[in-house]
């Protein structure tokens, strides 16, 4: 009668192994370890109108005066997803969660930020009207649009 016991142990082992594999898969997606920061590119893209900055660079006075359009990165989304900005108006993306993000232009401009963690920011100032589509290269489906209008 060792056969039913062997089946039970085999099923238990397979169940535990499946849970372990699933756990490792989930842990590998979007973790907040510091190793991702070391794989980020050392320089920003060639577009001179972009800049990675510490969060304190954008002042409350800038935001209150309307000189800055603020976009936050929260729940693996850009908030707001679509923003209207004037030519020459600064756009600041701020990471509001513990996973690393970046900002990458897909259409309408050429830039890509480095990966940055919670509290980090990335700035871009558009120089001409049009539509700019962007994403986070780390998170498929995390996309946004800037509608850039004449000042």
- CATH number at 122 reads 2.60.40.420
Q: Chain-wide mean pLDDT for the chain?
A: 73
Q: Render pLDDT for 24-64 as a digit per residue (tens, 0 to 9).
A: 333 334 433 332 332 233 333 334 344 433 333 333 344 44
pTM as predicted: 0.60
Q: Render pLDDT for 96-106 as a digit per residue (tens, 0 to 9).
A: 999 999 999 99
Q: Is residue 62 part of a domain?
A: yes
- Sorted by sequence, the CB contacts under 8 Å of residue 151 that are 6+ apart come out as 86, 87, 88, 89
Q: Is residue 94 part of a domain?
A: yes
Query: Which of 100, 93, 41 lies closest to 76 in space, CA to CA?
Result: 100
Q: Is residue 117 part of a domain?
A: yes
Q: Is residue 9 part of a domain?
A: no
Q: Is residue 28 part of a domain?
A: no
Tally the domains of the chain.
1
Q: Is residue 10 part of a domain?
A: no
pLDDT computed for residue 151 by the predictor: 85
For 79, the domain range is 47-149
**pLDDT beyond 70 at 76:** yes
Q: Is residue 101 part of a domain?
A: yes
């Amino acid at each position: 009668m060792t056969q039913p016991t062997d089946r039970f142990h085999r099923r238990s082992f397979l169940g535990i192994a499946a849970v372990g594999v699933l756990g490792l898969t989930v842990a590998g997606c979007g973790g907040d370890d510091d190793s991702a920061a070391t794989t980020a590119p050392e320089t920003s893209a060639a577009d001179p109108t972009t800049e990675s900055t510490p969060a304190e660079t954008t002042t409350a006075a800038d935001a209150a005066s309307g000189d800055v359009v603020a976009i936050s990165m929260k729940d693996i989304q850009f908030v707001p997803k679509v923003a209207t900005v004037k030519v020459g108006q600064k756009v600041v993306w701020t990471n509001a969660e513990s996973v690393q993000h970046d900002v990458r232009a897909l259409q309408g401009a050429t830039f890509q930020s480095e990966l940055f963690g919670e509290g980090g920011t990335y700035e871009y100032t558009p120089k001409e009207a049009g539509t700019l589509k962007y994403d986070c290269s780390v998170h498929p489906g995390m996309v946004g649009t800037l509608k850039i209008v004449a000042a």
